[in-house]
């Protein structure tokens, strides 16, 4: 069970992801540099948050040309796990591993605070230790977290149960007021049809140990460990 944490120029959450995977859940983990051309035998790739290549053009647009992206594409195509967090989610849409796009927040302001997420699906490698409907309190920090896709794509995501997390209130109600960025249908995280690639805007690695005052994100990493132990 081995995690690879991708470091792109501008990544700033790589050490958070490395700490959680290596020191909190006790997995083998190492850094993957953006110029690497192989994944060093990792089972799960994590593309962390930050501002890859300064978010020039738009968030994630230049990252898709990084040499590390081609082995990540092959890894995903072979059924390997890929987890994009915040900027990592933006990158995954740019490289075509997830549908849709992340646009400027509806209110055009950067937002950094805790939000509530409702767990929509638990039959994924990323959520199998959570309960359907479970509400998580997870921090966000983004200016381009407004998930957008056309109605046909959104309907397909719903039909295939690819919407994994939605923004909600503390009671689990999906409301416009609980949506921090204008994201379509309150979507906070989605997976691909094969369910081995996920992207989410909130940061579970920032709330995965009691020392931080909130460990709601730990269940996601525990789900990954449980999934990898079965492989």
* CB distance 136 to 216 below 8 Å: yes
Q: Residue holding tokens 């959104």?
A: 154
Q: How far is CA 94 from the centre of its chain?
A: 14
Cα 201–Cα 125–Cα 220 angle in degrees, nearest 5? 50
Active-site residue flag, 203: yes
Catalytic (active site) residue 44:
no
And the tokens for 6? 């991708």
* Alpha-carbon span 70 to 215, nearest angstrom: 33
Note whether 202 and 139 are within 8 A (CB): yes
Tell me, yes or no, if 38 is annotated catalytic.
no
CA–CA gap between residue 112 and residue 187 (Å, rounded): 17
Which residue among the candidates 44, 86, 191, 207 is catalytic per the annotation? 86
Q: What are the residue ranges of helices labelled H in 34-175?
A: 69-77, 87-94, 151-159
Name the active-site residue from 120, 142, 203, 207.
203
Question: Catalytic residue among 94, 120, 144, 205, which?
Answer: 205
Which residues carry out catalysis?
A: 86, 203, 205
């Amino acid at each position: 069970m081995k995690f690879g944490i991708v470091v792109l120029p501008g990544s700033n959450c790589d050490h958070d992801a490395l700490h959680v995977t290596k020191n909190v859940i006790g997995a083998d983990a190492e850094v993957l540099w953006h110029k690497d051309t192989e994944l060093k035998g990792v089972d799960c790739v994590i593309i962390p948050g930050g501002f890859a290549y300064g978010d020039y053009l738009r968030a994630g647009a230049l990252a898709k040309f990084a040499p590390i992206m081609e082995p990540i594409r092959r890894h995903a195509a072979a059924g390997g796990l890929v987890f994009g967090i915040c900027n990592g989610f933006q990158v995954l849409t740019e490289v075509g591993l997830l549908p849709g796009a992340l646009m400027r927040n509806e209110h055009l302001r950067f937002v950094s605070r805790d939000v509530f997420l409702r767990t929509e699906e638990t039959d994924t490698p990323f959520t199998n230790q959570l309960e359907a409907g479970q509400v998580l309190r997870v921090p966000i920090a983004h200016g381009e977290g407004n998930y957008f896709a056309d109605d046909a794509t959104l309907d397909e995501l719903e039909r295939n149960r690819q919407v994994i997390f939605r923004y909600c209130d503390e009671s689990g109600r999906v409301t416009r007021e609980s949506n921090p960025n204008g994201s379509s249908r309150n979507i906070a995280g989605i997976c691909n049809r094969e369910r081995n690639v996920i992207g989410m805007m909130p940061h579970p690695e920032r709330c995965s140990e009691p020392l931080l005052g909130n460990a709601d994100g730990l269940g996601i990493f525990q789900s990954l460990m449980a999934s990898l132990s079965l492989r």
